[in-house]
Amino acid sequence: MKAIANLCYQQRRPLVRLGQHSATWKERRRMTTHLRRDQLTGAQIRSAFLDFFRSRDHVIVPSSTVVPKDDQSLLFVNAGMNQFKDILLGKRQPEHTRIANSQKCIRAGGKHNDLDEVGHDGRHHTYFEMLGNWSFADYFQKDACRLAYDLLVDVYGLPPDRLLMTYFGGDPELGLGPDFECREIWRQIGVPEAHIIPLGMEDNFWAMGEEGPCGPCTEIHYSPSGKSEDMLELWNLVFMQYNRKRQGLLEPLKDKHVDTGMGLERVVAVLQGKKSNYDTDLFTPVLSQIQQLTKAPFYEAKWGQEDHQGLNTSYRIIADHIRMLTVALADGVVPADRGAPFVLRKVLRRSVIILQNKFNCDPLALVDLVDTVVESLGEAYPEVASGQEAIKKTISEEVLKYKRTLEKGNKIFSDVWKKLENKMVLPADRMFSLYMHFGVPEELIIMMAKNRNMTCDLKGFYVLLDNEREKSRKARKG
């Protein structure tokens, strides 16, 4: 497939290098009229990003696995910068000063957890891809803004009057003034004054954590109306220039870096003119395959109260979860009872329950959905394609195991329920017994109670669980 960046400029003009002036908007429109952005596929949009930065002297590096390397603070890799953390901390030198990539990310569990939002809106996912470019002590604000603007306008063809930029408006308590340099850069690029908006620490100052590299950022937003009321964040450009120490003190870094991130699913939705990420070609093949396998009514993109039976929400959850499961398994995460592997098991079991209860079908349908995900992601991430059969085998084994657990759990729960005098609340000791002595998973107990219009004494259950764990710890020491 020819690169979009090359197609845009083929027989028209050479690609712009850093420091050169771009053409006017009218000239750019003439150059790209043969490329309608709503016809670009997600794969083409990803490739265009990488090709663009390759042409700007960036080295394209592979995505890391979703398993963090030597970082106990994360369950999964959840941002493009994770694999470059030591460079930003000054612990190792970069092999290249300019790089770009598309990073596989998972946000399910831990500090960054989008699991409960999945399916209920069109933007949150357990698995997503982060497009990013980095400069390690190379270019800084001016070129970072110029590069981002040129990609969005020159290559992707977004109208400039639909882009709004926010910048750091300062923080008197920290002694930080507004980032007027960034504001002036956007002015010089040609962004109207009304489209350059100052915001505070919460929105436009990024930090890795309580301590470590940090700095002001500028965010590029897309607005269908060209107004701030409906703007959607597309791209975050972070200008690393401080090291946050204890008590929040900031000291200048020896080297300044650029760290940017743009969610692929979100930019694809904007370029394809879709209201939801699920309406893009990144998700529609999976949604279609779910319907074919389950014979359920067709997906209708209904939300909230319009989705009376919750079927459309269930479609979205399954489409999201099978992408996450496929990628995580391809990267070597194996379902288990602790940490990231437990999150994976939880996501898989949630999918099983939804397929059984909402689609009335055999949850082994998950296995067949893997092929559709591989078709979508296998070219960009070869490990997904090469692990296809192993992924399907693991999912099949886990589904069959959980089906047996469900059957056993339902029988045991029914026996307990029949003996309860108060059938409105499941007591903590009964819940603890189901969990500890009969091996019924916590989320399954809660679900079965909910199906009988019961609540669970979770507070008491967690007390009993903590007491049991403390006994185990003492027994191991003794």
SS (H, E, C) the chain: CCCHHHHHHCCCCCCCCCCCCCCCHHHHHHHCCCCCHHHCCHHHHHHHHHHHHHHCCCEECCCCCCCCCCCCCCCCCCCHHHHHHHHHCCCCCCCCCEEEEEEEEECCCCCCCCHHHECCECCCCCEEEEEEEEEECCCCHHHHHHHHHHHHHHHCCCCHHHEEEEEECCEHHHCECCCHHHHHHHHHHCCCHHHEEEECHHHHEEECCCCEEEEEEEEEEECCCCCHHHCEEEEEEEEEEEEECHHHCEEEEEEEEEEEEEEHHHHHHHHCCCCCHHHCCCCHHHHHHHHHHHCCCCCCCCCHHHCCCCHHHHHHHHHHHHHHHHHHHHCCCCCCCCHHHHHHHHHHHHHHHHHHHCCCCCCCHHHHHHHHHHHHHCCCCHHHHHCHHHHHHHHHHHHHHHHHHHHHHHHHHHHHHHHCCCCCEECHHHHHHHHHCCCCCHHHHHHHHHHCCCEECHHHHHHHHHHHHHHHHHHHHC
Tokens, residue 185? 């850069």
Q: Among residues 283, 278, 213, which one has the least CA distance to residue 242?
A: 213
pLDDT in tens, 79-120: 888 889 888 888 889 999 999 999 999 998 765 667 778 999
- How far apart CA 350 and CA 92 sit, in angstroms, is 41
pLDDT computed for residue 27 by the predictor = 44
Band (478; pLDDT cuts 50, 70, 90): low
Neighbours of 341 (CB within 10 A): 15
- With beta carbons less than 8 A apart as the criterion, state whether 246 and 130 touch: no
Q: What is the mean pLDDT of the chain?
A: 88
Sort 156 into a burial class: Cβ within 10 Å, 0-12 / 13-18 / 19+. buried
Band (443; pLDDT cuts 50, 70, 90): confident
Q: Among residues 150, 157, 154, 149, which one has the least CA distance to residue 196?
A: 149
Q: Which of 7-21, 151-165, 175-189 has the lowest mean pLDDT?
A: 7-21
Is residue 470 pLDDT above 90, yes or no? no
pLDDT computed for residue 257 by the predictor = 95
**In terms of pLDDT, which residue wins out, 471 or 153?**
153
- How far apart CA 476 and CA 478 sit, in angstroms, is 6
pLDDT computed for residue 17 by the predictor = 40
Is residue 312 pLDDT above 80, yes or no? yes
pLDDT in tens, 419-440: 888 889 999 999 998 888 777 8
Is residue 442 pLDDT above 50, yes or no? yes
The residues with which 318 forms a beta bridge, in sequence order, are none
This prediction has a pTM of: 0.85
Q: Among residues 222, 226, 216, 136, which one has the least CA distance to residue 179?
A: 216
Mean pLDDT, rounded, for 149-173: 95
Residues 102/104/106/112 CA torsion (nearest 10 deg): -30
- How far apart CA 92 and CA 85 sit, in angstroms, is 9
pLDDT in tens, 228-259: 999 999 999 999 998 888 777 888 888 999 99
pLDDT in tens, 133-142: 999 999 999 9
pLDDT in tens, 348-368: 998 998 999 899 999 999 999
Tokens, residue 333? 């995460």
- Cβ-count burial 374-409 (b if 16+ within 10 Å, e if not): bebbbebbebbeebbeebbebbeebbeebeebbeeb
pLDDT in tens, 279-302: 999 999 999 999 999 999 999 999
